[in-house]
Amino acid sequence: MRRTVVTGCAAITPAGAGLPALWEAVTGCRPAGDPITAFDVSRNQSRIAATIPDFDPIAAGLDPAVVERMDRATQLAVVSARAAIVDAGLGTGDLEPGRGGVLIGSAIGGVGFMEKEFRRLCRPERGARGYVNVAPEIDPATYPGFLALSVSSEVARDLGFQGPVTTMATGCTAGLDAIGAASALIADGMAEVMITGGVDSPLSPIVLTSFDNIKALTRRNAEPRRASRPFDRDRDGFLLAEGCAVLVLEEAGRARRRGARIYGEILSFASLSNAYHMTGLSADGAALAATLEAALRRARLDPGQVDYINAHGSSTQQNDRNETAAFKRAFGPRAYGIPISSTKSIVGHSLGAASAIETVVCLLALRDGVVPPTANYETPCQDCDLDYVPNEAREIPLRVVECNASGFSGIHSSLLLGHRDFAAS
């Protein structure tokens, strides 16, 4: 098996654009969150979110004509991919086009583009429900604009990559699943370089209301920056967010031959389903535990070698209970000694982008030997009694870290990352 390393990273999150902004917010325990003002939320129970500040795709280098045909999520992906390529030190001519691929995860793709176009075309002449006048008014960019594949295909088009191109649409595990699948393509020899990660821009009326109606979102509207509180007794749902993180994966030998800076190594990936419920989770954590155990087996590691876990930690009652139980099943007594945190408490839950952002956080944690905290952890919970690194970062030497994700339909995914010098240790 060919080994895979990470040589480039980029992120645009509610903390701001770039890795320094993300890392400073996460390690400084500075949560995002504000009232939603982009559209009317007066009938919603949840009226707050974590939004990206001051993102201007044209100022970021995209052509205005290109921006017109793209959903905001695709814009974020293209801008981030360009930044990740620069961060990796890859220049024009460094790679045969057919040996570079793109595999990015997105839970909802360009739903915002489609909803905006639908609302533009609605007419009130036939009562309150309105109707859609189908032609010739519909923007020709509507279909590719909302198509999830556009997230990856537009990145490939922009970079000129002619290798494998796929969008992973597995909901809230999409970013992690994309990274795992991209690593597998390199290991199998299908590509030398993969652009991967996750993106979602879900702040639209239909998406917000859908999550609101199933009571998945926090309703702490008066305290948006204290609203996301994973593993805390008084948690009441996640803070919806937008975000993007893109990584450059390379075959390890190639990266070292060109003298690339290496953030860390992809040690293993595993994903399983609990086949239990579309939106619910059992309290026992058995399926997630099996996923964690599978990732450890694939990496030939034992539980004692994991130094830190970045949890899914969504801040819903059922997820945090399920995840805590899974850690105890998979790690046994060792679970009580592993630092665990949820950085969704800082940057919110950006659906398919969340686990990609958290992967970047894990790589920066490996780089600096710093475990990020769980913000807003104030009141211990009987069902969640592990070490969640409350409210303050810790300096700890790190060799192996684990990033987890769980999503609707019962998908559980886990990625193990090693320090850049892990193979030599």
The 10s digit of each residue's pLDDT in 300-354 is 999 999 999 999 999 999 889 999 999 999 999 999 999 999 999 999 999 999 9
Check if 349 is active-site.
Answer: yes
Strands 370-371 and 394-395 turn out to be antiparallel
**Predicted model pTM:** 0.94
* Cα separation values, 337 from 267, 305, 311, 313, 343, Å: 22, 12, 15, 18, 19
Q: Helical H runs in 243-316?
A: 252-257, 286-299
Farthest-apart Cα atoms in the chain, separation: 71
Q: How far apart are CA 180 and CA 423, in angstroms?
A: 19
Identified catalytic residue from 29, 172, 362, 403:
172
CB 251 within 8 A of CB 6: no
CA dist., res. 183 & res. 4, Å (int): 6
- Identify the weakest region by mean pLDDT among 141-150, 172-181, 260-269: 141-150
CATH number of 4-110+147-420: 3.40.47.10
16-17/340-341 β-pairing:
unpaired
Question: Is 122 marked active-site?
Answer: no
So what's the pLDDT on residue 68?
87
Average pLDDT of the chain, as a whole number? 91
Active-site residue, from 9, 29, 244, 349:
349
Confidence at residue 133, expressed as pLDDT on a 0 to 100 scale: 54
Catalytic residue among 9, 312, 412, 419: 312
Measured in residues, the chain has a length of 425
Cβ count near 256 (within 10 Å): 13
Structural domain boundaries in the chain: 4-110+147-420
pLDDT of residue 259: 94
Joined tokens for residue 245: 């993180």
pLDDT tens readout for residues 214-230: 999 999 999 999 999 99
Residue found by looking up tokens 């970047």 in the block: 360
Instruction: Give me the residues paired with residue 195 across strands.
Output: 102, 248
- Give the contacts of 87 (CB within 8 A, at least 6 positions apart): 8, 9, 10, 19, 248
Statement: residue 284 has pLDDT above 70: yes
Pull the structure tokens for residue 293: 């155990």
Ranges 64-73, 114-123, 149-158, 292-301: which has the least confidence: 114-123
CA distance 254 to 343: 32
